[in-house]
Amino acid sequence: MRAFKRWFDRSLTAQAVLIFLLGVGVTALFRRDEHPVVWVIQGVLYATIVIAFVAVQRRRASRAAGTDARGIVELHRKIRHREVPREPEERATMRRLVAEQLGQIERGRRWLPYWLGSMILVAVGTLAAGVATGSWVLPLILAAAVIGFCCWALWMRRRSIDRFRYMRSSLQS
């Protein structure tokens, strides 16, 4: 399982296939009356957008750290497991990566209240629209999912900040 997880983390193709399958499944779930070709086209569109975003983020991180995409994935694995590298070159690369990623998270803090507010507005708006039309079960599920996603995103952000700060202090010693 660990080898599969590592392979999946490194392979953009595997990630694209998973996103495509999830996109087709979600589209088929919500648009049952559409032709299956529409589901496939939307799945391809979703996968293309997400993989382009991930590729740009990987390229930006690899330029900032001074290593290739595989090196970035390996450094992120070491950060998740709190493994401090011993080699001076790898320490310097990780120090640059940690500084870049921590700076990016802290710069995004300015937009966090606006993002959370808009997500809460979406949740409340869909719930209000559902109650107004008389169908409140699906909007209630959607509102709970949106609020759950916001809580998960805040938790992951806090966890990432803790990991990067730990690694930054470990690399300075």
One pLDDT digit (tens) per residue for the chain, 173 residues: 778 877 777 788 888 898 999 999 988 888 888 899 999 999 999 999 999 998 888 888 888 888 887 788 888 889 999 999 999 898 999 999 999 999 999 999 999 999 999 999 999 998 898 888 888 888 889 999 999 999 999 999 999 999 999 999 999 87
Same structural domain for residues 99 and 171?
yes
Task: State both tokens at 24.
Answer: 């087709």
Picking from 30, 53, 78, the residue at the C-terminal end of a domain is 78
Same structural domain for residues 91 and 167?
yes
Cβ pair 19, 47 in contact under 8 A: yes
| Cα 31 from chain centre | 25
Same structural domain for residues 91 and 169?
yes
Same structural domain for residues 44 and 111?
no
Same structural domain for residues 57 and 101?
no
Instruction: Classify 87 as helix, strand or coil.
Output: coil
173: amino acid identity, one letter: S
Whole-angstrom distance between the N-terminal and C-terminal Cα of the chain? 34
Same structural domain for residues 12 and 53?
yes
Instruction: Classify 39 as helix, strand or coil.
Output: helix
The domain containing residue 167 runs over which residues? 87-173
Same structural domain for residues 140 and 172?
yes
Answering whether pTM is above 0.85, one says no
| Number of domains the chain is built from | 2
Distance between CA atoms of residues 18 and 20, nearest Å: 5
b/e per residue 76-99 (b: at least 16 CB within 10 A): bebbeeeeebeeeebeebbbbbbe
DSSP class of 14: H
Task: State both tokens at 58.
Answer: 């990987």
Task: State both tokens at 115.
Answer: 């993002």
Distance between CA atoms of residues 133 and 150, nearest Å: 26
Cβ pair 171, 140 in contact under 8 A: no
